[in-house]
Amino acid sequence: MSKEEKNVKRRDFLFTASYTVGAVGLGAVVWPLIDQMNPDKAQQALATTEVDISQVEPGKSITVLWRGKPVFLKRRTQDEIAEARAVSMDDLPDPQKDEERVKEGKDEWLVMLGVCTHLGCVPLKDKGDYKGWFCPCHGSHYDLSGRIRKGPAPKNMEIPKFEFVDNNTIKIG
């Protein structure tokens, strides 16, 4: 290998090594600037909410705020549960059984994010073609299980993580 060839190889190596280290360094500097926009610790600290549900009559619902978003807690009547369960899976754009959307043994309680899966508006209760919810922004209809039936929304309303602390208290998050 001539001396010149050797120099070229050494130079190529130095260029590649410098670019690599430079790119890693740039990434290390840019990442904190990007990640600072993600939810901070104060936002994450608001991650659970406990709700007293003892005052809710069958057929009624309450709305609470969790992580800045409304959560609907609806105590359904037996008729409403039966109606939600009678729906054929073929009629659902986002097929999901009603049983999968409630806690076993507590199936009168429907707990879900009151956020339309289209563009995030809050649907209105007891409205729409399916007796469930209706989003006034772009016309999505949800049924008694909060499942999308008609309109531009792609998915059923989301079920957050929640549990029954006791018979009268639900912990969301």
Partner 1 sequence: MSGHEEYKPKSKAGKWLNDRLPLLTLGAHLTDYPTPKNLNYWWTFGGILTFCLLTQIITGIVLAMHYVAHADLAFASVEHIMRDVNYGWLIRYIHSNGASMFFLAVYIHIFRSLFYGSYKSPREVIWIIGLMIYLLMMAAAFMGYVLPWGQMSFWGATVITNLFSAIPLVGDSITTWLWGAYSVDNPTLTRFFSLHYLIPFLILGLVVLHIWALHVPGNNNPVGIDIKKPSKDTVPFHPYITIKDAFALLLFMIVFAGFVFFTPNVLGHSDNYIPANPLVTPAHIVPEWYLLPFYAILRSVPDKLGGVILMFGAIFILFVLPWLDTSKVRSAVFRPIYRQFYWIFVIDVLMLGYVGAMPAEGIYLVLARVGTIYYFLHFIVVMPLVGLFEKTEPIPMSISEPVLGGGAELSLAKKDNGKI
Q: Which of residues 45-104 bind partner 1 (CB under 8 A)?
A: 63, 65, 67-70
Note whether 139 and 151 are within 8 A (CB). yes
Q: Which long-range contacts (CB under 8 A, 24 or more apart) does 77-86 make?
A: 77/108, 78/108, 80/131, 80/144, 81/107, 81/108, 81/144, 83/131, 83/144, 84/143, 84/144, 84/145
Task: Return the number of the residue (117 or 145) whose C-beta is nearest partner 1.
Answer: 117
Q: Interface with partner 1 by CB under 8 A: which range of 4-12, 81-89, 114-122, 161-169? A: 114-122
Q: Binding string, 126-155, against partner 1, x = CB under 8 A?
A: ---------xxxxx-----------xxxx-
CA distance 105 to 98: 13
Task: Return the number of the residue (11 or 60) whose C-beta is nearest partner 1.
Answer: 60
Which one of the listed residues 9, 60, 138, 155 is annotated catalytic? Answer: 138
Nearest distance, CB of residue 24 and partner 1, angstroms: 22
Helices and strands in the chain, H and E counts: 3, 10
| Residue from 8, 30, 119, 165 binding partner 1 (CB under 8 A) | 119
Can you say how many angstroms the Cα of residue 89 is from the centroid of all Cα atoms in its chain? 22
Structure tokens given for 18: 């410098």
Task: Return the number of the residue (25 or 136) whose C-beta is nearest partner 1.
Answer: 136
Is 138 part of the annotated catalytic residue set? Answer: yes
Structure tokens given for 16: 């590649």
Catalytic residue numbers read 138
User: What is the binding site for partner 1 (CB under 8 A)?
Assistant: 34, 37-40, 43, 63, 65, 67-70, 115, 118-122, 135-139, 151-154
